[in-house]
Structure 1
Amino acid sequence: MPIRLKLALWYGGVLAVIMTVFSGTLYFLMYNSIQHQYRSSLQEQTEKVYDRLEYTVRLSLRGWNIDVRLDAQDMFFTENIYLQLINISNRRISMSTNAVEDGVMIPVITENILQHLLTESPYVYTNAEINGLPFIVYNRGIYNNSNQLIGVLQGATYSGHMISLLEELRFVLILSSIAIIIASSSFGWFLSRKALRPIDAVINAANQIESGEDLSKRIPYKGPQDEIGRLIQTINGMLERIQHVYQSMEEAYRRQRRFVSDASHELRTPLTTIRGNVELVEKMWQREEDGEQPISEEVMTLSREAFEDISAETERMSRLVNDLLSLARADAGKVIERVPLPLLPIVEEVVRRAQFLPRSPDVAWRAEDLSPFHDVFVCGNRDYLQQLLFIFIENAFKYTEKGEVVLQVQKTDEQAGIRISDTGIGMDKEEVPMIFERFYRADPSRGKVGGTGLGLSIAKWILDEHEGSVEVYTRKDQGSTFIIWLPIWKGRDNLAEEE
């Protein structure tokens, strides 16, 4: 069942209950009011007759005899009332003139009425049907000086008009209630349809997203910020996040495909070189063996060169595989185990070993004063920190043809900084955001020096694991400067205070 139909039914049902209670209450109040008016008028006129009633009471062998006499005034005041006087002792009935003329004889009082007049009150109302017509009867007790009931004065008035009026009122209330319920339910259906119209937009947008048509689509809404407005705002926010996630996944998938393509290309190059050299050596040795001649010096030289190429390419492929393995660990969420370490010995070891790294003969390597790192501790991993520094130093050597590469240290209250500067080829500012992407340098159009382009990606992972950061300052053909920042470990000071 549609929700708008449910709302319309609920609205109509609640309104039906309200109209039923309202109509019933109104009918009850009107019924009591009209009946009270009829009874009050009947009682008032009958009491006036009772006050002017002239009757003679005489005691006989048959009991008390009562004679009723009504003058002309009584007939005027009792135009719509029929009077009847009943003698209790002999059950003699005296009727008013209009009652005799119209043939209206009020039913004889019952024992219940007599008992009520004797014990409870001097009057009582009853309903009677006379000649097939409804009447209201006012029974007024007549008492002697000893407060004995000797007669009953009855006044009756026609109540058909009251009953007709109440029936018309009941019909009008029922008919109007039905009409109001139908009209209100229809209006409620219209309102619910209008109020829930944005839900249709939500459903259509969700269907389009499910079918993958347009993730940038949003639900238009210009209404108030009620429940529907907040719902649409929330759904639009959710759609925006889904779009960002989808775009991120697309970008990650694109980068993954590029990564696989670049890795395959990088691995294929050394494998092709190795295979070519192996085939060359096999051919040369096969040719010498077929001639049954000693292996010449030329073949030995060419073989030695081929084996050197094979060794170099094997080493290159081994480095590439190790780099890929490191990045695979990073992608798998590997967490580097860290412990508090003094930073100065790590930097000194890197400075000592860096002088043996391959570089141009025209490039000088030096490290300035390292004393600011005295008694500086970081929470890290020694091997990965050394690998981090070697990556930046090797890059500086690789992209510097002449000049120098300098390592400097500095620190603040919270961080330790290692500055590595070179006088190499530098970069354009547009290239800086991309240098930490994998295989960025593998594209020859993006740099003058070849390489796998995985080093800085590994360095970024190590920095992230150590909660560090890096600053890059570079200018085309004027060199680059990288400042590596590592958070200083404060736990050692706390331990010293405790000691």
Structure 2
Amino acid sequence: MSIRTRLTLWYSGVLGVTLLVFGIVLYGFLYFQLFANQRSVMEDLVRQVNSQLSDSTFTINGETIVQIPQLSDFRSVGYFIQITTAGELYSKNFPSQQISREMRVRIAKNKPYVEFVYQGVPFYLYTQKTQLTDKYGQPVFLQIGVLVDDIRNLLRAVSYFLIAFSLLVILIAATLGWYLSRKALRPIEQVTEAAAQIQKGVDLNRRIGYEGPPDEIGRLTNTVNEMLSRIQGAYEELEETNRTQRRFVSDASHELRTPLTTIRGNVDLLEKMWKRTGGDSGFTEEEKKEMSLEAMQDIAGEAARMSRLVNDLLALARADAGVEMSKQIVELRPLVEEVIRKAGLLPKTVEWRTGNLSPLEGAFVNGSPDHLQQMLFIFIENAFKYTMEGYVLIDAIRTSEQIGIRISDTGMGMDSREIPHIFDRFYRADVSRGQTSGTGLGLSIAKWIIDEHRGSIEVTTREGEGSTFVVWLPLCFPPTLE
């Protein structure tokens, strides 16, 4: 059974019980009120008739005769009156002869009213003991009765009306409840449909439309939509991670395959030269030595290249694993000056310039000296690599909370659209492909080091004019210097 059906049945059941209670209370109230009014009129008649009985009694042959007054004198048309004792009926104008004994019992129990049916007609009877007695000394009773068929008909009509009205209201309420519950639960159906679409992996961009008030259903819809957005983001991030991983594996395999191919080719060449037995190999001893030396240099160079690549991959693997580097309070000026000195020994074809380093005076950061040097060397080596003429410059700038180390060059530069991708692994700008060697991992490692130091990188470049990288690091003030 669906929630909509259960809600409709619950609403209809509660409404039915409410209408039943209301009908019973209303019927009881009408019954009590109508008969209370009737009793009030009958009691008033009894008082009026009883006040005149002493004047209308006389004795014939020792028997007490009561002359009953005309009720029309009391403006009470439709009422009947009789005088009765223990079975003797002194008036014949009342359509009952079997009620006297029962009424005496009821009077003894302080229940003077009785309702009975005579020849299919309902009567309501009130009996009151008078001060008169008969010839046997038995008390004389005064009885007043009235037809109550109009009251009964009214109560019957009210009961029929209440039943019909209740059924009609329950039917209307059930219909409206079914419609309203369907409308109210429509967002839940949309949530179910959206969840089914997500389960099938068909449409992660789908959202649940809701134009109602911000009630429970509205809040549920918003929560589910936010959850769908997060799921979509996580799914897209996972897809991007998978694509990056596949690209990473492909690029790493390509980068490793090139030096391995070179090494294998040179090894094959050496084997052919030195393992031939008998016959002339076609090469002189001098040529063999020269070729062997060249092959060994190629093998050594490619092995060194593979070693650098493996080291870079290990560094990025540690970064992916969340390995935190050991940090300490580092004074930047001596560190940067040491980097400048070592950078002057690197192979280069352009001028190596040192700019204003005074902002580094008294600048301390919380970091790893080795990793900071590695990061600066990556930017400097890249600048030398992509600068064919002009110069490479290093200087520093400072703000109240950060220190910036700037490396500028007059090299080939790049398109500004390349900037968002230069820190991706194995990414190399199109302008540099085929012109410079490299694995495309250096800037990824540098970005990881900067992130570990809670820093940031600022890049400005123009194709054919050069690039500028500014590494921003948060300043630290050691307690000993405060």
**Residue 101 (structure 2) pairs with residue 108 (structure 1):** yes
Indicate which of 114, 118, 124 corresponds to 2:112. 124
Please give the residue correspondences for 1:292-311 in structure 2 after superposition, counting only pairs within 5 Å: 296-311=285-300
Partner of 2:249: 260
For residue 31 of structure 1, what is the amino acid of its counterpart?
Y
- How many residue pairs get aligned? The number is 478
Q: Report the CA distance between 1:50 and its aligned residue.
A: 2.2
Unpaired runs of 5+ in structure 1?
A: 118-122
Indicate which of 182, 190, 206 corresponds to 1:201. 190
- For the 8 Å contact 2:356–2:395, the answer to whether it is kept is yes
Q: Report the CA distance between 1:124 and its aligned residue.
A: 3.3
Partner of 2:271: 282
What is the TM-score normalised by the length of structure 1? 0.87
When residues 71 and 317 of structure 1 are mapped into structure 2, their CA distance, relative to the original with a 3 A threshold, is: closer
- For the 8 Å contact 2:422–2:429, the answer to whether it is kept is no
Unpaired runs of 5+ in structure 2?
A: none
**Residue 216 (structure 2) pairs with residue 216 (structure 1):** no
Distance across 2 between alignment mates of 1:218 and 1:343: 52
Distance across 2 between alignment mates of 1:294 and 1:476: 49
Partner of 1:120: none
Please give the residue correspondences for 1:100-499 in structure 2 after superposition, counting only pairs within 5 Å: 102=95, 104=97, 106-108=99-101, 112-115=105-108, 124-130=112-118, 133-143=121-131, 150-287=139-276, 290-291=279-280, 296-360=285-349, 363-441=350-428, 446=433, 448-490=435-477, 492=478, 494-497=479-482
- For the 8 Å contact 2:414–2:429, the answer to whether it is kept is no
**Residue 68 (structure 2) pairs with residue 48 (structure 1):** no
When residues 290 and 442 of structure 1 are mapped into structure 2, their CA distance, relative to the original with a 3 A threshold, is: farther
Deviation string for 1:267-295 (max 9, x for gaps)?
00000000001111111113476559997
**Residue 4 (structure 2) pairs with residue 11 (structure 1):** no
Q: Report the CA distance between 1:203 and its aligned residue.
A: 1.7
Q: Report the CA distance between 1:231 and its aligned residue.
A: 2.6
Partner of 1:95: 90
For residue 51 of structure 1, what is the amino acid of its counterpart?
S
Percent of counterpart pairs with the same letter? Answer: 48
Secondary structure of 1:431's partner? helix
Distance across 1 between alignment mates of 2:328 and 2:104: 111
Deviation string for 1:126-161 (max 9, x for gaps)?
3345556542221223237xxx99532111223344
Q: Report the CA distance between 1:171 and its aligned residue.
A: 2.8
Distance across 1 between alignment mates of 2:295 and 2:180: 86
Q: Report the CA distance between 1:24 and its aligned residue.
A: 0.8
For residue 82 of structure 1, what is the amino acid of its counterpart?
F
Secondary structure of 1:366's partner? strand
Deviation string for 1:440-476 (max 9, x for gaps)?
1286775732311100000000000000111112222
Q: Report the CA distance between 1:205 and its aligned residue.
A: 1.9
Distance across 2 between alignment mates of 1:261 and 1:222: 49
Q: Report the CA distance between 1:332 and its aligned residue.
A: 1.4
- For the 8 Å contact 1:139–1:153, the answer to whether it is kept is yes
Distance across 2 between alignment mates of 1:241 and 1:3: 29
- For the 8 Å contact 1:440–1:446, the answer to whether it is kept is no
- Compute the RMSD of aligned alpha carbons: 2.9
Q: Report the CA distance between 1:82 and its aligned residue.
A: 2.5
When residues 72 and 255 of structure 1 are mapped into structure 2, their CA distance, relative to the original with a 3 A threshold, is: closer
For residue 42 of structure 1, what is the amino acid of its counterpart?
M
For residue 251 of structure 2, what is the amino acid of its counterpart?
D
Secondary structure of 2:234's partner? helix
Please give the residue correspondences for 1:22-37 in structure 2 after superposition, counting only pairs within 5 Å: 22-37=22-37
When residues 104 and 169 of structure 1 are mapped into structure 2, their CA distance, relative to the original with a 3 A threshold, is: farther
When residues 31 and 495 of structure 1 are mapped into structure 2, their CA distance, relative to the original with a 3 A threshold, is: farther
The farther-off stretch of 26-35 and 455-464 is 26-35
Q: Report the CA distance between 1:368 and its aligned residue.
A: 3.2
Q: Report the CA distance between 1:402 and its aligned residue.
A: 2.2
- For the 8 Å contact 2:121–2:149, the answer to whether it is kept is yes
Secondary structure of 1:480's partner? strand
Deviation string for 1:169-226 (max 9, x for gaps)?
2233223222322331122112211222232222222211211112122223333433
What is the TM-score normalised by the length of structure 2? 0.90
Distance across 2 between alignment mates of 1:107 and 1:133: 19
Partner of 2:65: 67
For residue 20 of structure 2, what is the amino acid of its counterpart?
T
When residues 319 and 136 of structure 1 are mapped into structure 2, their CA distance, relative to the original with a 3 A threshold, is: same
Secondary structure of 1:440's partner? coil
Partner of 2:79: 81
Distance across 2 between alignment mates of 1:286 and 1:92: 153
Deviation string for 1:390-421 (max 9, x for gaps)?
10010011111222212112222211111111
The farther-off stretch of 468-477 and 177-186 is 177-186
- For the 8 Å contact 2:255–2:439, the answer to whether it is kept is yes
- For the 8 Å contact 1:104–1:130, the answer to whether it is kept is no
The farther-off stretch of 169-178 and 23-32 is 169-178
Secondary structure of 1:421's partner? strand
When residues 444 and 402 of structure 1 are mapped into structure 2, their CA distance, relative to the original with a 3 A threshold, is: closer
For residue 81 of structure 2, what is the amino acid of its counterpart?
L
Deviation string for 1:33-83 (max 9, x for gaps)?
2212322232233333223333437799x9xx6421134565784542222
Q: Report the CA distance between 1:387 and its aligned residue.
A: 0.4
